[in-house]
Amino acid sequence: MLPKFVYAVNYGNSRFDEMWKIQKQLHLARQQKRNPDILIFTEHEHVYTFGKSSNQNHLLANEDELNKKGIETFEIDRGGDITYHGPGQIVCYPIINLSDYSEDIHKYLRNLEEVIIRTLSSLNIKSTRNSDYTGVWIENEKIAAIGVKVSRWITMHGFAFNNFPDLTFYDRIIPCGIFHKGVTSLKQFGIEISNLELINLFKKYFAEVFNMEIVSISKEELIKILDSSILETESELIKN
């Protein structure tokens, strides 16, 4: 089978609400077949996000603490419970059509885990899945959280991988609603790797696991794609 053509962009730093809006625009455009599959890699400002199955009690900080630390909160449409995003963490948002791969959400989640597991293996770190919880683990601690939304077989949201974040921000939540397990990062294992190097590894293993032909584009090229998709959508609305 021929590999699927996919764009990949290193977006750099972004606010969560900015990137959520971009995801929604790309998701709609992908449904309308206005653009190919896209992988977005970004690094967010401090934020806690609540998935559809979140318990508000899993946020341990009060409003004053959040304001002092400059932490925003959002209730969003992905699966899962509360999680943290912030500097030193790579977040990947695949906007892909599963009809071109496999219309199986569980397989998609396992494939995302496999991308991360192979990336860690290339850094000589043994990681595993957990039969009870989605994500990637090193012994009893999670290094990558996964939460997705799939609508009309188009995906959004994705995974968050801890490279060198400040792990104390996890002290203010029950990460993913799991009380008895911890979180970790590459930094905890003495591994120093830039986000750019790590993103290149992720792209390599996305290509392997999903049989993709990945073409890297710039942030500016992504914005042009967005602008073009919005104009085409508005034109269709005017016609109708």
Interatomic CA distance for residues 76 and 106, integer angstroms: 20
Q: Which residues are catalytic?
A: 176
pLDDT of residue 226: 87
Render pLDDT for 153-200 as a digit per residue (tens, 0 to 9). 999 999 999 999 999 999 988 877 767 789 999 999 999 999 999 999
For residue 123, the tally of other CB atoms under 10 A from its CB is: 14
Q: Which residue has the higher pLDDT, 33 or 53?
A: 33
pLDDT averaged over every residue in the chain: 92
Domain residue spans of the chain: 4-239
Confirm if 123 and 186 have CB atoms less than 8 A apart: yes
Residues 6 or more apart in contact with residue 175 via CB below 8 angstroms: 82, 83, 84, 142, 145, 183
Interatomic CA distance for residues 12 and 179, integer angstroms: 32
pLDDT of residue 233: 53
Two tokens, residue 11: 């977006």
pLDDT of residue 194: 97
pLDDT of residue 24: 95
- Report whether pLDDT(237) > 50: no
Q: What is the phi/psi pair of residue 17, to 5°? A: -65, -35
Render pLDDT for 81-121 as a digit per residue (tens, 0 to 9). 899 999 999 999 999 999 999 999 999 999 999 999 999 99
Q: What is the phi/psi pair of residue 200, to 5°? A: -65, -35
Query: pLDDT class for 46, splitting at 50, 70, 90?
Result: very high
Tell me 98's DSSP state. Answer: G
Alpha carbon of residue 100 to chain centroid: 20
Render pLDDT for 58-73 as a digit per residue (tens, 0 to 9). 999 899 999 999 999 9
User: Which overall architecture, per CATH, does domain 4-239 show?
Assistant: 2-Layer Sandwich (3.30)
Interatomic CA distance for residues 104 and 41, integer angstroms: 23
Query: pLDDT class for 231, splitting at 50, 70, 90?
Result: low
Residue 59 gets the label, from left (phi > 0), alpha (psi -120 to 50) or beta, of beta
